Chains A and B, each alone.
Chain A
């Protein structure tokens, strides 16, 4: 359950932003979770809404989660494609090779905060 620590880190980061911008209420937070982050989105949301119960300035906030698709790159032909473009047996749609590496993010980014 590292999702809970991540939700806490998010809240801490946004609290600093509130102070910096002289705002006292968070309306919306937009977060991007990379496809290879290993983060369970439900647990992250659950953690966030559990933690903000103790945070008056967050209590009405909405957490928006963006999940970009996983991209794969074929090691042989070098082309990139989305997971749903793979052949049925998980091969490169162009050259049919099976040696594919994931490209894309394993990170979790704070994209936007709306506050007043």
Chain B
């Protein structure tokens, strides 16, 4: 049995029941996601036992998650230890891009599902451990399946959730996809090198996102020009600063 997922342990159910003629009504108030969330909390402990901070990247397809990861690895690899879990519906492509940078990476293919869930990530962390020379990391980056809706419902055990919207997608995205922003910690506006070509309003995007979640941090950056990258790298380094 795995010490992290606790599999094999009996399920607990709390609820009141009363009989109704022959049928029985059971009252509960239990999240359907509870099973997922339980495993997610175990993932969190597991990530912490590796010494790492877990970061979950959520965005629509093509907002620049993998490119940002590659640029982040370039800058952080000399001074920190990084592991990556890539979520994709089918292919190994994103993992391949990371592997070329000589960073431990695991590709999770969801086989059609539009999101990662805690159980998959649990498996992913175990697989990743095989790729580590010692069980020690500073960052565990998890790139979710490209989708701005579904991944938002599934807590994976991350410490920070990052949601990206790229300039070509339009500044109305926070208002249209509230759930992704309500539960995020950081909002990255990506591809700001393209601001001159699209009618993206940084002010609108920020304002709408902050309405949904006043505690949200916001960083604007471009993986192509490197603008805003220092702020992002500092954000990350602050997460692993010891007291």
Contacts and interface: CB of A to CB of B under 8 A. Distances in A.
Interface of A: 1-2, 5-6, 9-10, 12-13, 16-17, 20-21, 23, 27, 31, 36-39, 75, 99-102, 106-116
A78 to B, nearest CB: 13
Contact of A1 (B30, B33, B114, B212): B114
Contacts of A37: 153, 179
Q: Which DSSP category, helix, strand, loop or mixed, fits chain B's interface?
A: mixed
A36 B182 contact: yes
Given A2-B154, A23-B24, A114-B24, A102 B29 contact: no
B28 A112 contact: yes
Contacts of A116: 22-24
A10 B32 contact: yes
B11 A16 contact: yes
Contacts of B13: 16-17, 20
- Interface size grouping (class) on chain B: 35 or more
A11 B120 CA distance: 19
A109 B178 CA distance: 19
A13 B211 CA distance: 35
Contacts of B36: 9
B241 interface: no
Contact of A17 (B20, B26, B29): B26
Given A9-B33, A106-B183, A101 B27 contact: no
B242 to A, nearest CB: 33
Given A101-B213, A115-B26, A108 B11 contact: no
A44 to B, nearest CB: 10
A87 to B, nearest CB: 15
Given A2-B114, A21-B24, A23-B24, A12 B35 contact: yes
